[in-house]
Structure 1
Amino acid sequence: MDTVSGSKPLDNMRWQQEPTTPESDKNRGMLTQEDFFALLTTELSHQDPTKPVENNEMISQMTAFSTTDGVTKLNDQFTNFAAAMSSSQALQASSLVGRSVLVEDNVFGMEAGQEVKGKLVTDKPASNVNIYVENVAGEIIQTVPVGSVKAGEFTFNWDGQNANGEPAPAGAYRFRVAGLVEGEASELQAMTYRKVDSVTLAGTGGSILLNLNGGNTMKLSDVVEVTQG
């Protein structure tokens, strides 16, 4: 730090000169096209007059350098493209906060008495279909009768109450869907809609995670469907 002082009041003020930082050179340690031609000129000036460099050899060297330089620039472009894609995905993911997403999982967490929406999937018609709501101990706390369904996907709602009509306590639950398919007892696929509380950005090249209600997380790429609420 350079310090200036004197007898006058203004002379007693101290000033500090900020150290200058040399501008970083992004090409440091890498040969540029100018470096290549300088080396080539030096090579030609020191060659044996009795053994001149053949045209094919010079063309080969120039082609090799051009290829290497092109690959380097292409890698830089891909890096920039990946960063742009990550930013775009992050922006899309942030718009999901407060909305519900469909996940291929029948397990979910809920607050006391909260209504939960799900979807059952079957590739064949089924009859006597029932949706069983089970707690973590495997106890059935509510049964939602559905009846007969055709092949396809069907949404359903659980009002968050137990068999006695009382609000079920907060915690983890799961949907289990069972019915008769071609006369045989079968379990059907169940999926759940989960509300997105927040989004975690893992950076360039990383996964973007959705933080769902109930404390679970999932990758943005695993989202099957998005709804308003």
Structure 2
Amino acid sequence: MSNDISGASSTYMDNLRWQDNKVPEKKDDTLTQEDFFSLLTQQLSFQDPSKPADNDQMIAQMTSFTMAEGISDLNSKFDSLTASMTSNSALQASTLVGKQALLESNMLDLNESANARGSAVLEKPIDNLNIQIKDSSGQLVRTIDLGAQPAGAVRFEWDGKNKDGERLPPGEYKVVAEGSIDGEYTSLPTATFKNIESVNINSSSGIIINTREGAVRLTDVAEIA
């Protein structure tokens, strides 16, 4: 008899321990439309018959709840739209890999087959614009004379050959744009086409393209070729 009582007591204590260790289920505190109508029904059941509820107030409460629920649904749809737009941006950005971006730079990328291209940026008309190409040691290998040019971006293209007509090896070459503006000889800013090696999607900066010279935002790119 004592063994039965002892076994039952042990089982009872085990059940108590299991209940104590049981993690309570997390409840959703969000009020739904059913909760609202339950509260409204409860409110009507306790109202004073001599002072019935104002219909305008009831309609206002129902409208407020409907608007709140609609805004919540709209936020969820906006989150879904944002995720979809991010995916589309990533897909579109991937198509930029292998193309060239026109960026502010004084370095030309010469490939094995393609010509190196860029632009000289002129704030004023120039009398005699010339483009100087220099190798890694700073030696002048080619000069391109473009003559008089109006204000704006003036395109230039280098076939990769030196002044003797010999094809130079691929790599980076320095470009210097100079000319006479209002009788004063001056250097000018340049932009060159850079190979896009990869792209990133940044939540704050948008699409980032990576070139040999570093990373830049797509909004800072003047042209894609």
TM-score when scaled to structure 1? 0.68
Q: Aligned partners of 1:198, 1:56: CA distance in 2, in Å?
A: 61
Going from structure 1 to structure 2, the CA distance change for 1:140 and 1:60 (only over 3 Å counts) comes to farther
Q: Which structure: larger Rg?
A: 2
* % identity of equivalent residues: 36
SS in 2 for 1:102: strand
Going from structure 1 to structure 2, the CA distance change for 1:65 and 1:57 (only over 3 Å counts) comes to same
Q: Which residue of 2 aligns with 1:211?
A: 210
SS in 1 for 2:89: helix
Q: Which residue of 2 aligns with 1:37?
A: 37
1:110 Cα deviation after fit: 4.5
Runs of 4 or more above 6 Å deviation: 111-114, 134-137, 161-166
Counterpart residue type for residue 84 of structure 1: S
Q: Which residue of 2 aligns with 1:122?
A: 122
Q: Aligned partners of 1:226, 1:163: CA distance in 2, in Å?
A: 30
Residues paired across the two proteins, number: 197
Counterpart residue type for residue 47 of structure 1: Q
Structure 1 gaps, min length 5 = 1-24
Following superposition of structure 1 onto structure 2, how do residues 6-155 of structure 1 map, counting pairs within 5 Å?
A: 28-103=28-103, 105-108=104-107, 110=109, 116-133=116-133, 141=140, 143-155=143-155
Cα RMSD over matched residues?
A: 3.5
Tell me, yes or no, if the aligned pair for 2:120 and 2:153 is still in contact at 8 Å. Answer: yes
Q: Which residue of 2 aligns with 1:5?
A: none
Q: Aligned partners of 1:100, 1:194: CA distance in 2, in Å?
A: 5
Structure 2 gaps, min length 5 = 1-25
Tell me, yes or no, if the aligned pair for 2:108 and 2:192 is still in contact at 8 Å. Answer: no
SS in 2 for 1:91: helix
* Structure that is richer in helix per residue: 2
Q: Aligned partners of 2:62, 2:74: CA distance in 1, in Å?
A: 18
SS in 2 for 1:101: strand
